Amino acid sequence: MINLPILPILIPLFAAIILMFFGKNITMQKWIGAIATAGTVAASIVLVNVVHTEGIQTVDLGSWKAPFGITMVSDMLSALLVTTTSIITFFVLLYSFRSIGKDRERFYFYPVVQFLLVGVNGAFTTGDIFNLFVFFEVMLMSSYVLLVLGGTKVQLRESIKYILVNIISSALFVVMVAYLYSVIGSLNMADISVKIAEFDQPGILTVIAVMFLVVYGLKGAIFPLYFWLPGSYYAPPTPVLALFGALLTKVGVYSIIRTYTLFFYHDTGYTHTILAWLAILTIVVGCIGAIAYWDVKKILIYNIIIAVGVILFGVSVMSPESLEGSVYYLIHDMIIKAALFLLVGVMIAITGTSNLRKMGGLIKDYPWLGWTFLIATLTLAGIPPFSGFIGKLLLVRGSFAAEAYLGGGLILLSSLFVLYSVIKIFLNGVWGVPKEYNGSNKHNAFYLWGSTVFLVILAVAYGVGAEAVRPLISQASEALSDPGIYIQAVLKE
Amino acid sequence: MEILMAIVVGILFTSAVYLMLSKSLLRIIIGTSLLSHGAHLLLLSISGLKAGAPPLLGEHAADYADPLPQALILTAIVISFGVTSFFLVLAYRAYQELGTDNVDQMRGNEGND
């Protein structure tokens, strides 16, 4: 199958188009959506297997040779991220069957989710900088619709801010593509990398590198550019929030990883120092937010920001070990953030509030929910048998080996704050005195929990079976430390 | 010629930033339109404004204008057109529901505390 790398984009695309014909037939929408997403998961797992055995897969669209046409590139990093994305979308879809409500389902919720999957998978797979912009827009446009769908006052208000921020960052993206094109004269990522290496990164390319950091930082919520995220992510309903929290910022993070390891690795003293400091400040800001709030959604939203900082610090160190840690932590964080948002969504569905002070005693009537949540919190904080541990271990070892003691120490310290912030939810919401709740009934809550528990199991298996996934992660991070592998696979010199 | 375009694009960006920092939502949307005009003009002018035939092979000219930025601009225009129309409808709906187009008054306790 030479078109295998684009199957995870094509399947949801066709599913979305078909789904638009069944606007009012909700049963049909659910079936087609679930089958298509399961197909995407299957295709992406096959893709990971093929990339593992045969190396980086490329598709030259329209058979135009590499620098002239659009090339889709599946290296191990993008294949793993596509797989994670598809799996998360599948379980979020199952969750939304019972929680999103008829009003939203009748107005094209499922097609828009498929379009979001198209945008995210496409952004992970593309090998062309302008095509990346287009897939960003596909993803953002779907996220605008998902954010505002339902039309409550808080959603309208926050959508305005979210759209405005993203229009500005998209315009900046176009400007940066223009500058890069004027200096390099190419849009293909591998070709750009070759030509930057020939010029040995003059001053103007360092400026472009920093501006790319601004563009992707606005999408991925790094330190001075994270201001839109807490408000915007508070507005949408739980399944949408889980999709946003797990996928959208990670696309920005992936783009920073890609550009800073493939394009701008010559003058690391300047650009990567900026990245390191921004990552450190991002962790600090996230920690402050995570321990400040008594609202379960807010706590988890600030935990997204902490994770972005941790991953990017590993990228800024640029040693093979820290890059491996970043890749491992990135995938861990996508899975566990989706699981935590969905679990918290079950708690909100039962109690009818997201205020921690009004919750309590869920363990008495819902023990399965309470214990799953405890495992998820321990996984997030990085307690040894679970998946957060190995990523952070590699990150900390990598940064200590590179003598970045401040960042490495801060990553260790941030785990403590992460643990405190989520255990606060556990102690106040799950333990404590039981209260009267008038939210959703036990049967419904059990279904919602049932679609989440697979993600928690996956996260635990990802930690316990680290030895099994280690070859994949190593393969992904090798291509990051040595851009030559990527370039050779695309340009076939 | 490129220098003149650079100054014009700079003026467009300045106006866009000024408008986007104002209170009225409609002014903000006009600002976003000016911003995308600026970005598109920049994309056109930065690849060089040399004299050449329009990129049509039927012209049989010795030299053509660079066709790639024109394709990129065309793509960027339709994307920003779609986003702007969505944003305008959103602003209209927000005006109906919230009863104001002043972004200072669009505050609530749910998302911001």
What pLDDT, in 10s, does the model give residues B74-91? 999 999 999 999 999 999
B64 secondary structure, DSSP code = B
CA dihedral A124, A127, A129, A135 (to 10 degrees): -40
Three-state DSSP at A200 gives coil
What's the confidence (pLDDT) of residue B108?
A: 63
Question: pLDDT tens across A339-348, in order?
Answer: 999 999 999 9
Q: Which of B3, B81, B90, B104 to mutate to test the interface with A (most CBs of A within 10 A)?
A: B90
What's the pTM? 0.95
Of A154, A174, A179, the CB nearest to B111: A154
Q: Which residues of A touch B43 (CB under 8 A)?
A: 174-175, 177-178, 181
Token pair for A247: 């996928």
What's the confidence (pLDDT) of residue B112?
A: 46
Q: pLDDT category, A352, cuts 50, 70, 90?
A: confident
Each domain of chain B, given as residue ranges in start order, spans 1-51+65-102
Max alpha carbon distance in chain A (Å)? Answer: 68
Question: pLDDT tens across A438-457, in order?
Answer: 777 788 888 989 999 999 99
CB atoms within 10 A of CB A20: 15
Q: Would the CB atoms of A154 and B108 count as touching at under 8 Å?
A: yes
Q: Which residues of B touch A145 (CB under 8 A)?
A: 86
Mean pLDDT by 10 residues, chain B (113 residues): 92 96 94 96 86 88 90 95 96 89 73 45
Q: Which residues of B touch A182 (CB under 8 A)?
A: 46-48
Give residues 61 to 90 of B whose Cβ lies within 8 Å of A.
68-69, 72, 75-76, 79-80, 82-83, 86-87, 90
What's the confidence (pLDDT) of residue B109?
A: 54
The letter for the amino acid at A286 is G
Asked which of A274-283, A461-470, B44-53 is least confident by mean pLDDT, the reply is: B44-53
Interface residue B99 vs chain A (CB under 8 A): no
Interface residue B34 vs chain A (CB under 8 A): no
Percent of residues in chain A assigned helix, strand, coil, to nearest 5: 80, 5, 15
Q: Which of A170, A228, A233 to mutate to test the interface with B (most CBs of B within 10 A)?
A: A170
CATH dotted code for B1-51+65-102: 1.10.287.3510
Q: Which of B40, B66, B110 to mutate to test the interface with A (most CBs of A within 10 A)?
A: B110
Of A130, A157, A182, the CB nearest to B106: A157
Question: What number is the average pLDDT over the span A93-100?
Answer: 92
Nearest-Cα residue of chain A relative to residue B39: A175
Of B83, B108, B112, the CB nearest to A141: B83
A149: left (phi over 0), alpha (psi -120 to 50) or beta: beta
- Kindly report the nearest CA distance between residue A219 and chain B, in angstroms: 16
| Nearest partner of A131 among A62, A47, A189, A180, judged by Cα | A189
Q: Would the CB atoms of A231 and B111 count as touching at under 8 Å?
A: yes
Residues of chain A in Cβ contact (below 8 Å) with chain B: 130, 133-134, 137, 141, 144-145, 148, 151, 153-154, 156-160, 163-164, 167-168, 170-172, 174-175, 177-179, 181-182, 187, 230-232, 234-235
Given a cut of 60, is residue A228 above it in pLDDT? yes
Q: Would the CB atoms of A167 and B32 count as touching at under 8 Å?
A: yes
Q: Would the CB atoms of A156 and B97 count as touching at under 8 Å?
A: yes
A184, B76, B80, B100 from B32: Cα distances, Å: 28, 13, 9, 20
Interface residue B12 vs chain A (CB under 8 A): no
- Residues of chain A with pLDDT > 70: what percent? 99
| Nearest partner of A308 among A339, A288, A285, judged by Cα | A285
Question: What number is the average pLDDT over the span A397-405?
Answer: 92
H or E element: which one contains B78?
Answer: helix B67-98
Question: What number is the average pLDDT over the span A233-244?
Answer: 94
Q: Would the CB atoms of B110 and A154 count as touching at under 8 Å?
A: yes
Q: Would the CB atoms of A167 and B80 count as touching at under 8 Å?
A: yes
Nearest-Cα residue of chain B relative to residue A289: B113
Identify which has the larger pLDDT, A359 or A257.
A257
CB A417 within 8 A of CB A348: no
Average pLDDT, chain A: 92
Nearest-Cα residue of chain B relative to residue A135: B79
Question: What number is the average pLDDT over the span A212-216?
Answer: 95
Question: pLDDT tens across A51-88, in order?
Answer: 999 999 999 998 888 889 999 999 999 999 999 999 99
Given a cut of 90, is residue A310 above it in pLDDT? yes
Q: Which residues of B touch A232 (CB under 8 A)?
A: 111
Q: pLDDT category, A357, cuts 50, 70, 90?
A: confident
Looking at the predicted complex, does its ipTM rise above 0.90?
Answer: yes
Nearest-Cα residue of chain B relative to residue A167: B32
Interface residue B30 vs chain A (CB under 8 A): no
Q: Is B68 exposed, middle or buried (0-12, 13-18, 19+ CB in 10 A)?
A: middle
Q: Is A384 exposed, middle or buried (0-12, 13-18, 19+ CB in 10 A)?
A: exposed
Question: pLDDT tens across A27-38, in order?
Answer: 999 999 999 999
Q: Would the CB atoms of B32 and A178 count as touching at under 8 Å?
A: no
In total, the C-beta contacts within 8 angstroms joining chain A to chain B are 107
Each domain of chain A, given as residue ranges in start order, spans 4-491
Of A156, A175, A232, the CB nearest to B42: A175
Q: What is the distance between the alpha carbons of residues A284 and A62, in angstroms, rounded to a whole number? A: 47
- Residues of chain A with pLDDT > 90: what percent? 77
Interface residue B91 vs chain A (CB under 8 A): yes
Q: Which residues of B touch A134 (CB under 8 A)?
A: 75, 79
CB A451 within 8 A of CB A91: yes
